[in-house]
Amino acid sequence: MMSWDSVYILKLSMEGITYEHEWVFAPLLWRFMYKLRVLINTIFQYEMNVYDITLCYFIINCVLLYQICQISKKIVELIIRNDYLKDVSIDSNTINLFTYLRPIGVISLICYSETPAQFFTFYGVYLHLSSFTKSKTFINSKVKYLLSGVMFSVAFGIRSNCLLMGILYLNDLFTLSRKRDKLLSLFTGGILFLSFIYLTYLPYFLYCPERGEWCNSTTKSLVSYLQVTRWNNGFLNYFTLNNIPNFIISLPTVLFIALMNVTLWNVKSVRGLVYISWVYLFTQVFFMNIQIITRVSSFLPITIIALSLGVYECEMKENKLVRVLNDSKFISIYLFGTFIWNFIQPMLFGAFLPPA
> Which range among 29-38, 64-73, 91-100 shows the weakest confidence by mean pLDDT?
91-100
8 A C-beta contact, residue 165 and residue 280: no
| Mean pLDDT of the region 288-299 | 89
8 A C-beta contact, residue 7 and residue 14: no
pLDDT at 2 over 60: no
pLDDT at 1 over 50: no
169 band by pLDDT with thresholds 50, 70 and 90: very high
pLDDT of residue 124: 98
Name the DSSP letter for residue 101.
S
Chain-wide mean pLDDT for the chain?
88
More confident residue, 221 or 349: 221
71 band by pLDDT with thresholds 50, 70 and 90: very high
Whole-structure pTM value = 0.93
- Report the percent of the chain where pLDDT is more than 70: 92
Contacts of 288 (CB under 8 A, 6+ apart): 227, 231, 233, 238
pLDDT of residue 322: 62
Name the DSSP letter for residue 139.
B
Contacts of 289 (CB under 8 A, 6+ apart): 231, 232, 233, 238, 246, 356
> Which range among 62-66, 87-91, 234-238, 261-265 shows the weakest confidence by mean pLDDT?
87-91
User: 238-284: per-residue pLDDT in tens?
Assistant: 899 988 988 998 999 999 999 999 988 888 889 999 999 999 999 99
3 band by pLDDT with thresholds 50, 70 and 90: low
The sign one gets for the Cα dihedral 315, 320, 321, 324 is positive
User: 133-142: per-residue pLDDT in tens?
Assistant: 877 778 999 9
| Mean pLDDT of the region 202-221 | 85
Name the DSSP letter for residue 140.
S
310 band by pLDDT with thresholds 50, 70 and 90: confident
354 band by pLDDT with thresholds 50, 70 and 90: low
pLDDT at 75 over 50: yes
- Report the percent of the chain where pLDDT is more than 90: 44
pLDDT of residue 197: 93
More confident residue, 251 or 232: 251
> Which range among 75-89, 152-166, 213-227, 318-332 shows the weakest confidence by mean pLDDT?
318-332
93 band by pLDDT with thresholds 50, 70 and 90: confident
Closest CA to 305 of 295, 313, 316, 293: 313
pLDDT of residue 4: 62
Burial (CB < 10 A; 0-12, 13-18, 19+), residue 220, is middle
pLDDT at 286 over 60: yes
